[in-house]
Amino acid sequence: MQPISQAVARYLPISRQVHLELPGHGRRPWDADTTLTIEGLARDVLEQLKFKNVEHELENSILVGESTGALVLAAAAALIDARPLAGLFGEPPLSNGYGMRQVRLSLERQNTDISSAMQNVFGWSTNENRDFSYLFTDPKYLSLIIHGLQRTSNNAVPVHSVIEQHEIDAIPSHRNLLTCAMEGCGHRVLQNKRQYWALMLKSVLMAYYSGEWRRTKIPYS
């Protein structure tokens, strides 16, 4: 997530970036004591923020998350009823259905403690149907859901989008919610097109908050 947050910080007056890692992800080791549900992971995120002494700064923050991390950040903000400036969410799985077939197969093949735990998170170990769209149906802050439109994987797009169009269509219209799709992109659409989404976020924020930043200079490279 660091390249994405750096892209956002390039175009917005952000004084500090806080990077979080879920158990078994990045450089953080697997922690068998963590409750592996979306809400359990959200509480883990809040504990990390408390440890970094920034738990009270969510009101003036921009949340940036991809995939499961996007779900967890949205859940964390909801747990403490925080209202960040905005949330930039890349391909958050809205269910554990057909769109997640590639992820499910990958986890089953890995056969590790963390892969088994993640299968529990998404309900596959018990063959449950799970809907995560509730995290975005009534957003209290400006929320952008970014998703790709690539439905199958290929050499150029090895991981297809995990979001089905009918899942997006089923989310009620809300003044705080903006959904954005991009052709030719899959699950890593936020990561791969981060400069584009960072600029879009800035434009949307300027409009949303009635032009608080009246004059800006956007560098190109």
Q: What confidence tens digit (pLDDT) does each residue in 173-206 have? A: 998 999 999 999 999 999 999 999 999 999 899 8
Better-predicted residue by pLDDT, 16 or 196: 196
Q: What is the CATH number of domain 2-208?
A: 3.40.50.1820
Look at residue 217 and tell me whether its pLDDT is greater than 90: no
Phi then psi dihedrals of residue 48, to 5 deg? -65, -40
Helices (H) and strands (E) in the chain, counts: 8, 4
Better-predicted residue by pLDDT, 109 or 29: 109
Is residue 166 very low, low, confident or very high in pLDDT (cuts 50, 70, 90)?
A: very high
- Mean pLDDT across the stretch 54-83? 90
DSSP-based helix, strand, coil % in the chain, nearest 5? 40, 10, 45
- The 8 Å CB, 24+ separation contacts for 26-31 are 30/113, 30/114, 30/117
Is residue 1 very low, low, confident or very high in pLDDT (cuts 50, 70, 90)?
A: low
Strand partners, 193: none
Enter the pTM of the model. 0.90
Distance of CA 203 to the CA centre of its chain: 19
Report the C-alpha gap between 202 and 7 in whole angstroms.
11
The sign of the CA dihedral 117, 118, 119, 123 is positive
Q: Cβ distance 148 to 189 under 8 Å?
A: yes
Query: Could you state, in order of their start, the residue ranges of all structural domains in the chain?
Result: 2-208
Report the C-alpha gap between 11 and 8 in whole angstroms.
6
Q: What is the average pLDDT value for the chain, to the nearest integer?
A: 88
Is residue 35 very low, low, confident or very high in pLDDT (cuts 50, 70, 90)?
A: low
Is residue 212 very low, low, confident or very high in pLDDT (cuts 50, 70, 90)?
A: low
